[in-house]
A and B are shown apart, each in its own frame.
Chain A
């Protein structure tokens, strides 16, 4: 029973981290109509950068500040070089971001090597939680993910830039005719998407491995969260990510993770049959 509880708790923590990453995927899809196959690699770059910050400075906490900023910058660069030239061509976006995914993975392999690295969590303590010793860092990771998600929604609903993002997302032509620089909004959105995935990487690095293929497993999970949550529904994406990871956590305690993932895929298929537009229909208002 303790194992079930621990894995369920791990599922929730992991779900919140996935929610943070999937939100980036969702805003990029919602605003730019880009199906970003490289999004998992943005997470992977985040883990690698976090590892680099730790190796360079010896201070892991710095990574929480530096990596999202670097991720934002990389997002701006990639948007300019890869995304803008293929804007409004969803089919091309799959090919282009698939290519980008390979470039990012191979660049990391060429620079950091192929061997996976493990990071020691910056918080080593454990806590007695409902009869089990639970890592404090995982609770901290969940708190950081919740905080980042809240900041993101606050930004979206309470700032001018967030209002512009929502306006451009709804109707870029009218938004432009009102004086909103839509091309800059696209750029910033891609940057924010990368930064969120990179922050997810920093948060997750101590509880996963750091290697050039670290994003491969994340990507389908993020897509499942975005699809089950209802395409374009940001709150739905968060709820679906947590729900999926929680269910996978529970299933993993009875069987192996591959079966759990198959269970998630069956769950997604069932949702799409019953509710083709996802559980939480409609774009975020």
Chain B
């Protein structure tokens, strides 16, 4: 069963044709990485899914329903969680307000308990403003903010970018824990090791297109492909 499917997705920034027919899918409970060099259209693909960049062609189906025609604010409410690049915390809002910002009322207590069990530091800093948290704590908050909305799919855009190495492990562990609960994951990540360890399947992007698809285990061994599309060895 497919959780999300992008069919021939196109997007433009002015006259620049950024996405030139992206096709990909993520299954129920599956974790998929979207990798590629800078500027190939990874973030634009995620923004197009969220409706933040209006697709100029193609469609996005989520859980059997076309979401590319919805208003952007309806997409997270339909069950697509988004952890944006740079975390997107509102620095002037308290941790509590940040956490529940997307909800019109507080979530059930068991959800709140689950979140605070997973991220106990957030409970300690509930009244602090979001801007006073460290980068790692902000990333935890961004993930927690996404989880309180009980999404079926979480889209993460470079969650370990700019995070202290000691906290990267912690964030990786949290994403893995989310994955194990059965929530589907679509991950954009510059850290190839993190992406391959968290995801079972990988799409490689080049010039606004999906250029290659492989399982993580196959790709790990395929140094030619890694070199060609990412310029790295694992």
Mark A residues whose CB is within 8 Å of B.
160, 163-164, 166-167, 170-171, 173-183, 283-285
Residue of A nearest to B94 (CB): A163
Cα(A176)–Cα(B72), bound, Å: 6
**Known interface pairs A163-B97, A164-B101, A174-B84. Does A181 touch B73 (Cβ–Cβ under 8 Å)?**
yes
- Min Cβ gap A61→B in Å is 34
5 shortest interchain CB distances as A-B pairs: A285-B92, A178-B102, A174-B88, A179-B102, A179-B76
Q: 8 Å CB contacts to A: which residues of B119-141?
A: 129
Contact A283 B73 (CB under 8 A): no
Cross-chain contact of A176 among B52, B90, B129, B145 (Cβ < 8 A):
B52
Chain B positions within 8 Å of A163 at CB level: 93, 97, 101
Secondary structure at the B interface, as helix, strand, loop or mixed, is loop
Q: A168's closest neighbor in chain B, by CB?
A: B90
Q: Which residues of A contact B145 (CB under 8 A)?
A: 178
Contact present for A177 and B88 (CB under 8 Å): yes
Residues of A within 8 A of B77 (CB): 179
A160-B104, A170-B91 known, 9 other contacts, Cβ within 8 Å: A163-B93, A163-B101, A164-B101, A166-B92, A176-B51, A176-B52, A182-B73, A183-B71, A284-B92
Is B95 interfacial (CB 8 A cutoff)?
A: no
Judge if B62 is at the interface, Cβ distance under 8 Å. Answer: no
Q: A245 to chain B: closest CB distance in Å? A: 28
Known: A160-B104, A163-B97, A163-B101. A179 touches B149 (CB 8 A): yes
Question: Contacts of A177 on B, CB cut-off 8 Å?
Answer: 50, 52, 72, 75-76, 82, 84, 88
User: Contact at B52–A173, with CB atoms within 8 Å?
Assistant: yes
Binding site for A on B (CB under 8 A): 50-52, 71-77, 82, 84, 88, 90-93, 97, 101-104, 129, 145, 149
Query: A170 contacts B90, CB within 8 Å?
Result: yes
CB distance from A282 to the nearest CB of B (A): 10
CA of A174 to CA of B103, assembled, Å:
14
Pick 18 A–B contacts, CB within 8 A, sort by A.
A160-B104, A166-B93, A167-B90, A170-B92, A176-B51, A176-B52, A176-B72, A177-B75, A177-B76, A177-B88, A178-B82, A178-B101, A178-B145, A179-B74, A181-B73, A182-B73, A283-B92, A285-B91
Max chain A CB contacts within 10 Å: which of B50, B77, B82, B90? B90
Q: How far is the CA of A87 from the CA of B90 in the complex (A)?
A: 23
A178: which B residues are within 8 A, CB to CB? 76, 82, 101-102, 145
Task: Tell me the complex Cα distance, A283–B71, Å.
Answer: 29
Most buried by B among A171, A174, A182: A174
The answer on a CB contact under 8 Å between B104 and A167 is no
